[in-house]
Amino acid sequence: MTAPEFIIVGRVRKAHGIRGELVVEPITDAPDVVFASGRRVFAGTVTGDPLPSRLELRVQSSRPFNEGLLIRFDGIADRTAADTWRGRYLLTPAGELPPPDENEIYVHDLIGMRVTHPSGEVVGTVEELYELPQGLAIDVRRTPPRDAETVILLYDDATIASVDKDARTIVVTPPEGLLE
């Protein structure tokens, strides 16, 4: 697997006020660095790919807001322009971030990972990611003969027992009966 060119660092939740500020959910352990004044981010997709236009935004200002950040970007001057950013992912070039720690993984790297029970029984493969009010969820395509089915699992401490990024395997302990 080749190293990604861009890394997901945030998601725009909504516009805030009339001056073009955006409420951003940071998806990084270093939001103060990534969203510091003068830094750049790119519009992208949930898989970590930049939009074809390679649209670049420069941070004018950033401050804590609820459980995220309130950010003003160059070129987004009013609420109408800010509203067009709702739901977009923000990326930064991989070379501008330190690599993840041994026990960390980039969100978009979860797609395609094999999902197993602690016993080693294969559940399926991560097909999609969803941001739910409860947090990040993975959509797992089941293995044959149930390969027409998918199951959504929360990516939280109660469900995810371990992640081996080198083996590309996620060990899960889902609620009893969920996979039957």
Q: Which residue, chain included where needed, has tokens 């190293």?
A: 3
Q: Is residue 29 included in any domain, yes or no?
A: yes
Pick from 96, 126, 92, 121: nearest CA to 109: 126
1 pLDDT more than 60: no
pLDDT digits (tens, 9 = 90+) for 76-110: 999 999 999 998 899 999 888 877 777 778 777 88
User: Residue 31 sits in a domain of what CATH number?
Assistant: 2.40.30.60
Question: How far is Cα 146 from Cα 122, in angstroms, rounded to an integer?
Answer: 12
> Which of 1-10, 82-91, 116-125, 155-164 is predicted with the least confidence, judged by mean pLDDT?
1-10
46 lies in the same domain as 123: no
What is the secondary structure of 42-68 as a DSSP string? EEE-TTSPBPTT--EEEEEEEEEETTE
Q: Which residue has the higher pLDDT, 86 or 2?
A: 86
Counting every residue written for the chain, the total comes to 180
10 lies in the same domain as 85: yes
Q: What is the mean pLDDT of the chain?
A: 88
16 lies in the same domain as 48: yes
Question: How far is Cα 86 from Cα 171, in angstroms, rounded to an integer?
Answer: 33
150 lies in the same domain as 92: no
Q: How many domains does the chain have?
A: 2
Domain that holds residue 120: 107-172
16 lies in the same domain as 84: yes
Structure tokens at 58: 């420069």
16 lies in the same domain as 83: yes
Pick from 114, 104, 165, 118: nearest CA to 138: 114
Instruction: Identify the three-state secondary structure at position 109.
Output: helix
**Residue 28 has what pLDDT?**
83
**Residue 3 has what pLDDT?**
63
pLDDT digits (tens, 9 = 90+) for 22-42: 999 998 878 888 999 999 999
